[in-house]
Structure 1
Amino acid sequence: MASQQFEPPSGTRDFLAADLRQRERVFQAARRVFERYGFEPLQTPAFERLETLTGKYGDEGDKLIFKILKRGAHEASGEADMALRYDLTVPLARVVAAYGSQLPTPYKRYAIGPVWRADRPGKGRFREFTQCDVDVVGSSSPLVEAEVVCAGADALVAMGVEDFTILINSRKALTGLMQVYGVPADRAAGALITLDKLDKQRPADVAAELVEARGLDQGTAEKLVSDVTADDATDRMRAALKDSPEGAEGLAEVDRLLELAGPYVGEGRIRFAPNLVRGLDYYTGAIWEVVAPGLPGSIASGGRYDHLIQAMGGPDVTACGFSIGVERIIGALGAAGDQTDHIDVAVTVMDEAYVTDALGFAQELRRAGWAAEVFLGASRKLGKQLKWAADRRARYALLQGASEHAAEAVTVRDMETGDQERVSVGGLFTALDSKLRM
């Protein structure tokens, strides 16, 4: 029990310097891509009002919301009124509902930040993890889907993921399929949530749940599962939706997206997937997930959600987004290894009398734009201080012993070659600047 107090809560992690630097490089790669596409950043609170989040993710999603109990005088009630954000999409919808008149139209935003799920932790699955999103609000143009898909694909490549496939389907096509199979409208959403489990459960188990939990008859459930998982599922779905106006419209939108984005995403990286079902209730049009060889589940997802902002009390504006789950990507990149950033100059302190000089050297270097550190240990042994400089991956070390101090000079040591050069204090910064720019 004593050791547990020093461990992070289950499903969360501590990130030391090497891990943080690796993560920041991945995030920065995504930021550069998103800003090239004209997306602007947005940051929202880590927690929201519980009522803001509930009812947006379906019954299964609502169970995973991390609720925060009432505080202060109400702490004994056992009731919750706040919750940690489940994703970055619903907070975006709230922002647009609140600040719509102050935002450009269309509003193109990106966000990178932690989200939380009250889920059972497992391999590659955490309770706290980072999402990386781009969204466009306020345009129904098919170019929007193409833009966010291309931006997401470019971000994945920039992050270091070259081999991936974007699977495309349409919520309209799936709704049309429910109609064709005679699934009542009040059961369709639940049936789609169950179908969304096809990538995790056996088809027979999904069919059984459609019967037992969603109220479909045995024949309909089995045919539905069979048709969306068959080798010729694409042909079956297109044939089934010929007489469904909504379903046919959804397929046309998928075809248009493939036509627009396909040439730019890359050969073989994007295709229609009739068995793809996004379980979230708020999707209204094209939907997608991204899978990569060797990685479990999906590494990104998204789609069009045209009524979520209105559901938040805002205007009825269209929206579309692409969300990258960066944890699996970072995990696939391997251990952070030696990600320690080097410093330009390590300033040794050979005698207590020279502390002021050492600090002055470091400050001048920092103000000139170079990374410099002063030795903060108690030892005045040169060997120990040079080892510290090597551990900090310094390019140069400044040495000032009694002879240098008397001559108003400093010895500059090249930490890679071991070469040393004595320079005057007055010429030190010119000499270092020249060396560091090489």
Structure 2
Amino acid sequence: MAAKAGPPRGMRDFLPAEKRHRDAVLATISERYQQHGFDPIDTPALEEHDTLHSGLGGDNEKLSFQVLRRGLDTADLQAVTSLDELTDLGLRFDLTVPLARYVATHRAELPSVFRALHIAPVWRAERPQKGRYRQFVQCDIDIVGEASSLAERELLIASADALDALGVSGYRFRVNDRRLLTAVLEAAGVAPDQHLSVLITLDKLDKVGIEGVLDELTTRHGGQIDARAMRDFLERASEPVELDAHAIAQLMSATEDSAAELVGWAADVAGRIGPEKVVFDPTLVRGMGYYTGSIIELFHPELGVSLGGGGRYDGMVGRFLGDDVPACGFSLGFERLIDVVDSRRHAGASRLALVYTEQTPLQALLGVKAELIQSGHAVVLAQSKKNKKALFGELETLGVSRVAQVESEVPPVDELTWRELGE
């Protein structure tokens, strides 16, 4: 029986044109972020089981691919009460938890304020479906050690620059703050130990609407929540809210000082990247429980999808160090972003092709190829075929823009006759 030829479910192969497009987009993102002072790092694909299941990864911890300990036998399998006892490693399910561990590991070698750029694949045991994969790339930038809103400002300005460099338009940064949401919950009488549960329900607003959210809150929390206060908030929050501290404070049942902090950095960013690109969304939650302050989502209204998100997570690094360390990060959703970016704009350098025959002297052919490479060109060799249309079609899929035919006599480079493909 022949082995199955396809990749594992939820994972993908990439043909050369796709891979070139992905690499070109990643190169642009990396270049722009580094221009803004973010330093590239990398971490192992595998992390210790206890690191990945330390309570920092939220629901993603349940989606971790776990690795069995070496040397297990049937006696070990019979003796355990939990499968976790059989594992000591796991594939990283995001880049935030590894970053927190990385900073704790290398704290003495890093600057007091560290700007990290981490672009790498992650793995989650998702149920595969359209747009949701078990292996995918994340593009994260994080600022660790900066307690002020300078972090939020830098993260969004750098990300907007990367998006603009990719030719992405029409995007919006939706912003909110967990502390403002906490004020809403307190005004509705939600007990502190129920805050996360209620926020998870609020996070479903876009999918189930106001009535759906209220029905779930009533079912799960009953008389423990002031449904009238929550309905009032949701109805008022459905209308656009300007970046105004007084208006936000009134809506969120918060102090004007707490609203002013958000307005300060968000308005500054809007002034720098475009006022239409930053909007306050009082119902923005983002499901991860580790957020402690600002929360951000990159949204594309025309596509109706999120292209990334992030926020402040001041408590995470301290879980490894034992000392509080402020941290804020943002992640571009690369797998969705790649579908938005025009592949023709970011296809990378075009390639040349030398089409040769059986009579072409290979030594001379390779000499011409070497000269072209030395002059900065990428060069593909292709043997001639009777069906030139099919041959040129194959070469176009390889990113070739011009071809030169080389017969039994190989001319000097400056005497080659080039033909433009696609004309």
TM-score (norm 2): 0.83
Deviation at 1:125, TM superposition (A): 2.1
Change beyond 3 A, Cα 1:192–1:216? farther
Q: AA paired with 1:228?
A: L
Q: Aligned pair 1:360/2:360, yes or no?
A: no
Cα deviation code 1:115-163 (max 9, x no counterpart)? 2222223332222222111111111122211111111122222223210
Alignment RMSD: 3.3
Q: Aligned pair 1:122/2:126, yes or no?
A: no
What SS does the aligned partner of 1:312 have?
A: helix
Confirm or deny: 8 A CA contact 2:354 2:406 kept in the other structure: no
User: Which residue in 1 is equivalent to 2:141?
Assistant: 134
What SS does the aligned partner of 2:377 have?
A: coil
Q: Aligned pair 1:258/2:263, yes or no?
A: no
User: Which residue in 2 is equivalent to 1:84?
Assistant: 91
Change beyond 3 A, Cα 1:127–1:220? farther
Q: Aligned pair 1:282/2:290, yes or no?
A: yes
Cα deviation code 1:251-288 (max 9, x no counterpart)? 22211122221101212111111111122111111111
Q: Aligned pair 1:273/2:257, yes or no?
A: no
In structure 1, how many angstroms separate the alpha carbons of the residues matched to 2:103 and 2:377?
Answer: 42
User: Which residue in 1 is equivalent to 2:80?
Assistant: none
Confirm or deny: 8 A CA contact 2:313 2:326 kept in the other structure: yes
Change beyond 3 A, Cα 1:147–1:16? same
In structure 1, how many angstroms separate the alpha carbons of the residues matched to 2:375 and 2:340?
Answer: 38
Confirm or deny: 8 A CA contact 1:227 1:236 kept in the other structure: no
In structure 2, how many angstroms separate the alpha carbons of the residues matched to 1:340 and 1:255?
Answer: 39
User: Which residue in 2 is equivalent to 1:97?
Assistant: 104
Give the structure with higher Rg (CA).
1
Describe how 1:198-347 pairs up with structure 2 within 5 A: 198-213=205-220, 215-217=221-223, 220-221=226-227, 223-230=229-236, 231-232=238-239, 238-239=249-250, 248-313=256-321, 315-333=323-341, 342-346=350-354
Change beyond 3 A, Cα 1:336–1:47? farther
Gaps of 5+ in 1: 418-438
Deviation at 1:44, TM superposition (A): 1.3
Q: Aligned pair 1:158/2:165, yes or no?
A: yes
Change beyond 3 A, Cα 1:397–1:86? same
Q: Aligned pair 1:109/2:116, yes or no?
A: yes
In structure 2, how many angstroms separate the alpha carbons of the residues matched to 1:219 and 1:316?
Answer: 32
Q: AA paired with 1:33?
A: R
Cα deviation code 1:72-111 (max 9, x no counterpart)? 3227634333222121111111111110111123111112
Deviation at 1:193, TM superposition (A): 2.1
In structure 2, how many angstroms separate the alpha carbons of the residues matched to 1:91 and 1:327?
Answer: 20
In structure 2, how many angstroms separate the alpha carbons of the residues matched to 1:131 and 1:409?
Answer: 43
In structure 1, how many angstroms separate the alpha carbons of the residues matched to 2:69 and 2:201?
Answer: 36
Change beyond 3 A, Cα 1:100–1:75? farther
Q: Aligned pair 1:47/2:46, yes or no?
A: yes
Deviation at 1:221, TM superposition (A): 4.1
Deviation at 1:70, TM superposition (A): 0.8
Identical-residue share of aligned pairs (%)? 35
Deviation at 1:409, TM superposition (A): 11
Deviation at 1:32, TM superposition (A): 2.1
In structure 2, how many angstroms separate the alpha carbons of the residues matched to 1:88 and 1:80?
Answer: 21
User: Which residue in 2 is equivalent to 1:32?
Assistant: 31
Deviation at 1:410, TM superposition (A): 9.9
In structure 2, how many angstroms separate the alpha carbons of the residues matched to 1:306 and 1:69?
Answer: 30
Deviation at 1:390, TM superposition (A): 7.5
Confirm or deny: 8 A CA contact 1:139 1:318 kept in the other structure: yes
Change beyond 3 A, Cα 1:315–1:408? closer
In structure 1, how many angstroms separate the alpha carbons of the residues matched to 2:343 and 2:412?
Answer: 46
Q: Aligned pair 1:68/2:66, yes or no?
A: yes
TM-score (norm 1): 0.81
Deviation at 1:237, TM superposition (A): 6.0
Change beyond 3 A, Cα 1:305–1:225? farther
Confirm or deny: 8 A CA contact 2:114 2:144 kept in the other structure: yes
User: Which residue in 1 is equivalent to 2:22?
Assistant: 23
What SS does the aligned partner of 2:328 have?
A: strand
